[in-house]
Structure 1
Amino acid sequence: MLSGLRRAVRSRLGADQPRLGADDRGVTLAELMVSMILTTILGTMAVLFFVGSSSAGYKSVLTNQNSGDARLTLDSWTSMLRVAGWLDPSIKADRFEEVTSTKIVFYANLGNRATNVSGSFTAPAATTKIALMLRVSNTSTGVGQLIEVVFEPDNTTVRSVRQLGFNAKATAGLPVFQPYSRIGSALDLTQLGCLNGTTPTPGLCLQSGQPGSGMPDPSIGAGSLAVSSGNLRGNPAHNVDTALNQIGSVAIAFTALDPSNTSSMAFTSLASVSSGFPS
């Protein structure tokens, strides 16, 4: 029957028309299925490549931004520590109020940085109370946020709270803040110089609070940036006021992580604060 159909078609087309060959009869179902499968595979590969490239690019942007934030944080904190000043210059015993492995509370001459070009005398401004800290939000990894608190002249009212680093931790078990004495010796932060309520706690906490010192142990809540007084106080049984008075420099060390915690970069700096000691 098919042969008769082909002869009829050829006779109607004429002798000069080419004969219908096997290639002129379309594609089979199997060929169509193979073609669709190959097209699907190639399309999927293209989509996966595009998504992967976009994800890698986004991750690179976030990593660079996080590293940039960490670098700016280190510069800012080093600059503040370099102008650390006395709350009461007459006794020179209250420049540093608290130093633990993850927090430092001190007073700085932020208001005395401007240069007077008029030649007239300007009385020095009061020192500014500052708290710098790593707020650990994941106790299993030690990862948290780098936070800076600056107070108004009354040292109780908060002027600003800045979250400068969003994914940071201590570097290889080192303290984020390591104070050194005037002769360069590292001060022992494991000594029980603080009281957490009634419990002796490692750190250096000023025992003799001065008038006007403001909020003691400024702390940040776990779920917000609200600042309130913490529980750390000086330990009368382990007075470290002399050690705090002898701080001549502070090393800062922390590690910044990318959002997926797959890569990291360590940052370190040393701020000299040795000026202004009594002779």
Structure 2
Amino acid sequence: MSTETADTGAEATSGSVLDAVVSEQRRELWARAWKRFISRPMSVVGLAIIIVVVASAILAPYIAPYPQHAGKFTDFANALQGPSVAHPLGTDHIGRDILSRILFGYRLSLMMVAVVLGFGVPVGVVLGLVAGYYGGWVETIIMRMTDTALALPPLVMALAITSALQPTLWNAMLAIAALWWTWHTRLVQSIVSSERNEEYVQAAELSGAGPVHIMFREILPNTLSPILVKVTLDAGFVILIGAGLSFIGVGVQPPRPGLGTMVSQGTGYLPDSWWFAVFPGLAIFVLVMGFNMLGDGLRDVFDVEVNR
């Protein structure tokens, strides 16, 4: 019994040492990745844009010149005023400060990104892990279901759902999230299929580890880099689709300050009151550009290819 106990203790010690070595290697990998990232100016600029926008959205009630203009407010005496000291980006057709509404509009756009990706990424990752690990008929069912969903353009599907339901922000987010898991399912399934026969997976199976442990503790960490890159790039697409839905009137509804809604309202006053449509459009451009620059930088850092 003493010999068996000693062997068991030795195996446990060996396993803990191996885990510590693997953890140290992963920390070194992320440290090298961070050094490569900060060496790319465009990536750093993209990260800075996202940080500034997120901070501005969070602090909007405190830094917006006129926070009350984000809701039900009218001031026809100051309608369609051009950029000035009092209103740096001008006012809209009913006298509301455009800068204040853009800051609150960023809140809605980022909330849409969080909800859509917060639902789509976990669902897609889990389905991709299961399909890639088990293979066979399980993979066939999941991937055929994924291919069917991929045949439907996200914007068209979102437009159909929001048209059938009441056009609100939450229904718009639900409509976009309904198909977003498909891209991550395909990405993760392709990675797991190639990782399935690697030595570390076989070693985990021989040691008696179950499928759940292998998928989430062994394989999943090796898919985090491409998933992170794709999430960053997807954020820009989600913002554009959400703005598109708001532009045609089935997304964020007035008086809430949706960026797409503001552009749509402003187009009716071009070219005389150009600031009404141009500045909200630039706000969308800056936010999407920031996510794309950050995503491109991460893709170069981790040396992964993410197709859409």
TM-score of the pair, normalised by structure 2: 0.25
* Greater relative contact order (CA < 8 Å, ≥ 6 in sequence): 2
Larger Rg: 1
Query: Which TM-score applies when normalising by structure 1?
Result: 0.27
Give the number of the structure whose residues are more often strand, by fraction. Answer: 1
Per residue, is there more helix in 1 or in 2?
A: 2
